[in-house]
């Protein structure tokens, strides 16, 4: 695909291949790993604006950044109240972040039924007020949303124009409707029409599991860049493959992820998280089922490490 930098407000990314925010996965260690592998921008898991305003330690934990992280620091906030969103964007916890990504695309019922995430696509005036409120923080602002809520309600172009008019510096468009969650075909045409409707950078998201998928998404939509989501969960080295960076030894990469996750988040979290991630990395590999059975029985990071060392497909 065509590699280039992206300008969002006063920020310039090193390339146009981004790691999309993934709830439960894009913690500080995973973001650092993907950045090192070539991701031009990485974004935190979605963070509740109200949680930050109510000083929730659990919410603030999502904002941890590894020491010496060299990329643009980007935080994704979600909420439906402009005042809470403004306060969160201006909070001390978010002070280290240079870009705020507003979640207007999460399809999950818990978020949608609370009027947040993709539910904001039902109320464009409210979405505009939220963007304007977050812009008052002085930070660069991006918005992530979907092509529509249902197949007969594709509003990507209209919503893109509203985001730009409210002051967004960049938008990311997931090419599926809310009702499809993460299944079904990506609507390249809707993203392409939205790209034509605005002047700000448009990042296309959805269905990128290999370098060829990224190239096709760019070609079919005319987008300025791509955001990789679930594909990164299965193959974080996909960033190196897309950007042409030298790929490090995968086993060493995974073992380093395990060790760094343990150092930052503790033994229990690292054990559970890395059992899950290693199982993802094994997808499609010979003898994957047997390894996964053993992984999910592992009670310590030491046991997880022993299993990783045995695996000869990395």
By residue count, the chain amounts to: 314
How many CB atoms lie under 10 A from the CB of residue 50?
A: 17
Strand boundaries in the chain, DSSP class E: 7-8, 11-12, 17-19, 41-48, 73-78, 99-104, 140-146, 148-150, 153-154, 170-174, 202-205, 225-228
To the query of whether residue 106 is one of the catalytic residues in this protein, the response is yes
Output the six-digit token pair for 197: 């409707």
Confirm if 223 and 198 have CB atoms less than 8 A apart: no
d(C-alpha 129, C-alpha 142), whole Å: 14
Distances from the Cα of 166 to the Cαs of 7, 77, 241, 295, in angstroms? 18, 17, 36, 48
φ, ψ for residue 203, nearest 5 deg: -105, 130
The catalytic position among 53, 106, 163, 271 is 106
Residue reference for tokens 């603030």: 60
Q: Which secondary structure element, helix H or strand E, spans residue 167, and what is its range?
A: none
d(C-alpha 268, C-alpha 299), whole Å: 9
Q: Tell me the DSSP string of 225-246.
A: EEEESHHHHH-TTHHHHHHTPP
Strand boundaries in 66-146, DSSP class E: 73-78, 99-104, 140-146
Residues with catalytic function: 106
């Amino acid at each position: 695909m065509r590699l280039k930098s992206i300008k969002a407000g006063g920020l310039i990314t090193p390339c146009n291949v981004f790691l999309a925010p993934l709830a439960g996965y894009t913690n500080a260690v995973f973001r650092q790993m993907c950045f090192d592998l070539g991701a031009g921008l990485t974004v935190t898991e979605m963070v509740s604006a109200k949680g930050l305003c109510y000083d929730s330690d659990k919410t603030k934990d999502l904002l941890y950044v590894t020491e010496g992280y060299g990329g643009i620091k980007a935080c994704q906030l979600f909420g439906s109240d402009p005042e809470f969103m403004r306060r969160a964007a201006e909070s001390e916890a978010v002070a280290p972040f240079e870009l705020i990504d507003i979640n207007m695309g999460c399809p999950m019922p818990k978020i949608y039924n609370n009027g947040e995430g993709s539910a904001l696509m039902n109320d464009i005036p409210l979405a505009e007020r939220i963007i304007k409120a977050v812009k008052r923080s002085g930070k660069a602002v991006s918005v992530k949303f979907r092509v529509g809520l249902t197949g007969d309600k594709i509003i990507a172009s209209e919503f893109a124009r509203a985001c730009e008019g409210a002051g967004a510096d960049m938008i990311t468009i997931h090419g599926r409707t809310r009702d499809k969650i993460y299944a079904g075909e990506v609507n390249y045409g809707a993203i392409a029409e939205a790209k034509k409707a605005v002047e700000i950078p448009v990042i296309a998201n959805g269905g990128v599991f290999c370098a060829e998928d990224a190239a096709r998404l760019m070609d079919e939509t005319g987008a300025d860049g791509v955001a990789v989501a679930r594909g990164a969960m299965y193959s974080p080295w996909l960033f190196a493959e897309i950007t042409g960076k030298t790929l490090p030894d995968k086993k060493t990469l995974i073992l380093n992820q395990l060790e760094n996750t343990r150092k930052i988040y503790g033994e229990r979290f690292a054990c559970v998280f890395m059992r899950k991630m290693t199982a993802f990395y094994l997808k499609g590999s010979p003898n994957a089922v047997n390894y996964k059975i053993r992984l999910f029985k592992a009670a310590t990071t030491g046991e997880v490490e022993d299993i990783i060392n045995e695996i000869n497909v990395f």
